């Protein structure tokens, strides 16, 4: 696997499942994680296969960032924070995409799985 790396600080990496020792289970998943903002700094590191990957990932990450800005602006407005605060925080804020694939589990009794998109907004710098 070309992008496989145990180094989670790398700008792009992928891995497969892991053992959760606290619950004594193996979590079966495959994932690709990559930095995406600002895109001009990272796009050359992204996979080229399929050929549409870079364009689609760029479009997705820009749309996710716009959604993040909209959500933060609403939160800041509710907290009576000034607009400059939003810009100052987002100027320092990077962005990653994490794509996860969870293969079907034949012995699961959890019922049908749900697919969803999760946007995590770290507010540690607020």
Tell me the pLDDT tens digit for each residue of 4-30: 676 778 888 887 777 777 877 777 778
pTM of the model: 0.67
In a domain, 7, yes or no: no
Tell me the pLDDT tens digit for each residue of 45-98: 888 889 999 999 899 888 888 888 888 888 888 888 776 666 666 766 778 888
CB of 12 closer than 8 Å to CB of 21: no
Phi/psi of residue 124, each to 5°? -65, -20
Rg (CA), the chain: 18
In a domain, 123, yes or no: no
Q: Which residue has the tokens 């907004």?
A: 121
Domain extent for 82:
12-101
CB of 119 closer than 8 Å to CB of 67: yes
Specify the number of domains making up the chain: 1
What is the C-alpha to C-alpha distance for residues 45 and 38, in angstroms, rounded to an integer? 13
In a domain, 34, yes or no: yes
């Amino acid at each position: 696997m070309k992008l496989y790396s145990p180094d989670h600080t790398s700008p792009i990496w992928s891995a497969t499942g892991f053992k959760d020792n606290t619950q004594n289970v193996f979590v079966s998943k495959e994932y690709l994680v990559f930095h995406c903002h600002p895109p001009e700094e990272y796009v050359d590191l992204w996979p080229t296969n399929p050929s549409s990957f870079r364009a689609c990932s760029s479009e997705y990450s820009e749309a996710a960032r716009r959604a993040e800005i909209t959500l933060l602006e609403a939160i800041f407005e509710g907290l009576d924070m000034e607009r400059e605060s939003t810009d100052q925080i987002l100027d320092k804020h990077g962005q990653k995409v994490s794509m996860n694939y969870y293969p079907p589990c034949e012995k699961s009794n959890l019922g049908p799985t749900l697919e969803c998109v999760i946007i995590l907004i770290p507010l540690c710098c607020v």
